[in-house]
Amino acid sequence: MATPVKGGIPPMSPGAGNAVYPVTLNSDTMPRDVLIAIRQRRRHDLPSRVSVCCLPIQWDDAYEFTAPKPRQWWRRLMLYLGCANNDYGGTMFDIIDGLYEEGKINRTQMGQLEALVRVAMGCQFKAEQDIGKHIILGMVAAICGAVVPVVVGIQTTMQDQQMAHYLSYFAIVLSLVQTVAVTLSTVGNYSQSAMSRRMTAAEIKAEIYKFEALAGEYSEPQSHSAQFGKLMFHLAEFRQKAVEIQYAARSGGSDKKGDEKAERKKADTEMKASGNRGV
Q: Residue 156: what pLDDT?
A: 86
11 vs 260: which has the higher pLDDT: 260
Please tell me the distance from the alpha carbon of residue 161 to that of residue 82, in angstroms, as a whole number: 62
The verdict on residue 249 lying in a domain is yes
The band of 276, judged by pLDDT with boundaries at 50, 70 and 90, is low
The number of domains in the chain is: 1
Q: Which pLDDT band holds residue 263 (cuts at 50, 70, 90)?
A: low
Helix, coil or strand: residue 87? coil
Q: Residue 20: what pLDDT?
A: 36
Cα 133 from Cα 145, distance rounded (Å): 18
**Residue 278 within a domain:** yes
> Which ranges of the chain would DSSP assign to H, the alpha helix?
32-39, 73-80, 92-101, 107-157, 161-188, 190-213, 224-250, 256-273
pLDDT at 210: 92
Q: Report if residue 207 sits inside a domain.
A: no
**Residue 256: what pLDDT?**
52
Asked if residue 152 lies in contact with residue 170, where contact means CB atoms within 8 angstroms, the answer is no
- What's the Cα-to-Cα distance from 143 to each of 137, 150, 181, rounded to whole Å? 10, 11, 11
Residue % of the chain over a pLDDT of 90:
20
CA 211 to each of CA 221, 226, 248: distance values in angstroms, whole numbers, following the listed order: 12, 11, 31
Per the prediction, the chain carries an average pLDDT of 76
Residues in the chain, total: 279
Q: Is residue 126 assigned to a domain? A: no
Residues 247 and 264: their CA atoms lie apart, in Å, by 11
Q: Is residue 1 part of a domain?
A: no
Q: What is the pLDDT of residues 13-48, one digit of tens each?
A: 333 333 333 344 445 555 555 555 555 544 556 777
* DSSP-derived secondary structure letter, 254: S
Instruction: Produce one character per residue of 235-264: b if its CB has 16 or more CB atoms within 10 Å, e if not.
Output: beebeebbeebbebbeeeeeeeeebbeebb
Q: Which domain holds residue 249?
A: 214-279
In-domain check, residue 150: no
For residue 148, what pLDDT band results from cuts at 50, 70 and 90? very high
| The pLDDT of residue 4 is above 70 | no
The answer to whether residue 269 sits within a structural domain is: yes
Distance CA 199, CA 120 (A): 10
CA distances from 243 to 197, 249, 257, 273 (A): 12, 10, 15, 20
pLDDT in tens, 171-226: 999 999 999 999 999 888 888 888 888 888 888 999 999 999 999 889 888 899 89
> Has residue 234 been placed in a domain?
yes
Contact predicate 133/52, CB 8 Å = yes
* pLDDT on residue 143: 94
Q: How confident is the model at residue 5 (pLDDT cuts 50, 70, 90)?
A: very low
